[in-house]
Amino acid sequence: MKSVLEFQKKQSLGDPISMVTCYDTWSARIINDSGIDCILVGDSASMVMHGFPSTVHADVEMMAAHVRAVAKGAPDKFVVGDIPFLAHRKGIKPLMDTVECLMKAGAHSVKLEGAQGHLEEVSHIVESGVPVMGHLGLTPQSVNQLGGFKVQGKGKETARAILEDAVALEKAGCFSIVLECIPAPLAKEITDALTIPTIGIGSGADTSGQVLVLHDLLGMDPSFKPKFVRRYLDGYGLIKDAIDRFDADVKQRDFPVKKESFV
């Protein structure tokens, strides 16, 4: 997928949209050769790539560097760049500087969390020619207010608020909305209420598409096993085994052999 128009096309055909996160060139190259529709350069980079405890630690420079790396490796994919913590809450000028920075780094659209208090900003970005993906439910940048990485919208009031925010984001011009960790029936209700596609993570099967963090689906962290992740690989085990075999070969003087040496 190369264009924002294809999201709507897939939505009208009822074709599921697949999205994965990516932060670097070498994995972007692999995704570029895969059937995945869309790449999210998520602010989860701050946790996955930089070892911070939350996405609060991502900033514009960090996100732009990852977008640049991904855009180089995945020239055939639609790339979404995450607006980092508070960058959309400091006024229009710093927000638009952030948007400009991510788009010039190679993103085709931006994603931002939440709705309340920045719907006008969303419209302003869209009116400036930049597609915006919304993000509701568990919005990890608000982890300190939410009291942890918890399922959102379990109660009647909070479910209604998320639904209303989704409708407001569509009205503000979003082309798609990520629904993170909300009950499956609520995700279905929201998806049915919108004309734009929803992309779920931990929100059941009835969204228009699904997204996972690449490192989660590849099993890169054996200690991280949330209910909603399906692991397609024991990436940690396979990579550790390769590194251990190299280590053993070096120590047994089995590497390099003659054909791996210049004569």
Work out whether 201 is an interface residue with ligand KIV (CB under 6 A).
yes
Work out whether 46 is an interface residue with ligand KIV (CB under 6 A).
no
Question: Which residues neighbour 199 within 8 Å (Cβ) at sequence distance 6 or greater?
Answer: 17, 19, 133, 176, 177, 178, 179, 207, 208, 209, 210, 211
Question: Which residues neighbour 247 within 8 Å (Cβ) at sequence distance 6 or greater?
Answer: none
Which of 31, 30, 29, 56 lies closest to 45, judged by CA? 56
Q: Which is nearer to ligand KIV, 11 or 141 (CB)?
A: 141
Task: Tell me the site size for ligand KIV, rule CB under 6 A.
Answer: 12
In the complex, what is the shortest distance from the CB of residue 96 to ligand KIV, in angstroms, rounded to a whole number?
21
Structure token digits, residue 243: 């590194």
From the candidates 113, 121, 170, 180, give the one annotated as an active-site residue: 180
Work out whether 216 is an interface residue with ligand KIV (CB under 6 A).
no
260 catalytic residue (yes or no): no
Q: Which is nearer to ligand KIV, 168 or 229 (CB)?
A: 229
Q: C-alpha 94: how far from its chain's center?
A: 22
Residues 173-192 binding ligand KIV (CB under 6 A) are 178, 180
Question: Do the beta carbons of residue 63 and residue 34 sit within 8 Å?
Answer: no
Stretch that binds ligand KIV, among 10-18, 42-50, 86-94, 96-104 (CB under 6 A): 42-50
Question: Which residues neighbour 224 within 8 Å (Cβ) at sequence distance 6 or greater?
Answer: 216
- Taking CB under 6 A as the criterion, the residue among 37, 43, 121, 216 binding ligand KIV is 43
- Residue 256 CA to residue 239 CA, distance in Å, equals 20
- Taking CB under 6 A as the criterion, the residue among 22, 130, 179, 211 binding ligand KIV is 211
- Taking CB under 6 A as the criterion, the residue among 44, 109, 152, 191 binding ligand KIV is 44
In the complex, what is the shortest distance from the CB of residue 201 to ligand KIV, in angstroms, rounded to a whole number?
5
* Phi–psi pair at 218, nearest 5 degrees: -90, 0
Burial class (CB in 10 A: 0-12, 13-18, 19+), 135: buried
Residue, CB closest to ligand KIV: 42
Stretch that binds ligand KIV, among 35-43, 70-78, 190-198, 249-257 (CB under 6 A): 35-43
Q: Which residues sit at the interface with ligand KIV, rule CB under 6 A?
A: 21, 40, 42-44, 82, 135, 178, 180, 201, 211, 213
Catalytic residue numbers read: 180
